[in-house]
Amino acid sequence: MIRSLGDKKPKIADSTLVSESAYIVGDVEIGENCTVWPGAVVRGDFGSIRIGNNSHIEDNAVVHGAPPSLDIGDNVVIGHGAVVNARRIGNKVLVGINAAVLHEVETGDDCIIAAGAVVTRGMQIPSGSFVTGVPAKIVGKISEKHLMWVVDGPSFYSQWAQEYKKQGLMR
């Protein structure tokens, strides 16, 4: 479901696929070749949301724009059930399953936020970081093994979404 909120109307690239059971509302802009999966909520009411190209919001994730805005880069995967209410998510970032990324957080590029991590308000995450824990801490640099999640993940979701589109499950 894609809805306007007052004069705030989502702008979604024609190549982006959105599940019929996702909810996108307000001041939201989604780039080329993205996906928004079942149960995901992208809510641009308090602040604007800009999502780059080839980025993917998995099932039941919540992306909420806090003032003034939330910018999500290219080739990002927001995992199942994750909550993102940050200021900036860089390019080639994986936000793991059920992770929470709170207000005013900014990440660099090529980062992994591990499943279940709770990234507390205002944390600044440099490029190449591996972040895990409750509360989250930077525990090192992402390895070559981890890098495949941020390199291969977005292309996998783009390809898989085409099968959903063929079967009429995404527009």
The structure's pTM equals 0.93
Residue in the block written with tokens 């001041």: 27
Structural domain includes residue 171: no
Residue 43, both tokens? 């809510």
Q: Which of 49, 46, 22, 48 is nearest to 35 (CA)?
A: 22
In 3D space, the residue among 60, 34, 117 whose CA is nearest the CA of residue 49 turns out to be 34
| Domains contained in the chain, number | 1
For the segment 119-134, what is each residue's pLDDT rounded down to a tens digit? 999 999 999 999 999 9
Reported as a single tens digit per residue, the pLDDT across 67-122 is: 899 999 999 999 999 999 999 999 999 999 999 999 999 999 999 999 999 999 99
CA distances 10 to 34, 58, 72, 91, 98, Å, are 14, 18, 15, 22, 25
Read off the pLDDT of each residue in 15-31 and give the average, rounded to a whole number. 96
d(CA 38, CA 58): 7
* Residue 142 belongs to some domain of the structure: yes
- Whole domain around residue 25: which residue ranges? 2-166
Is 100 domain-assigned?
yes
Residue 47 belongs to domain with CATH number: 2.160.10.10
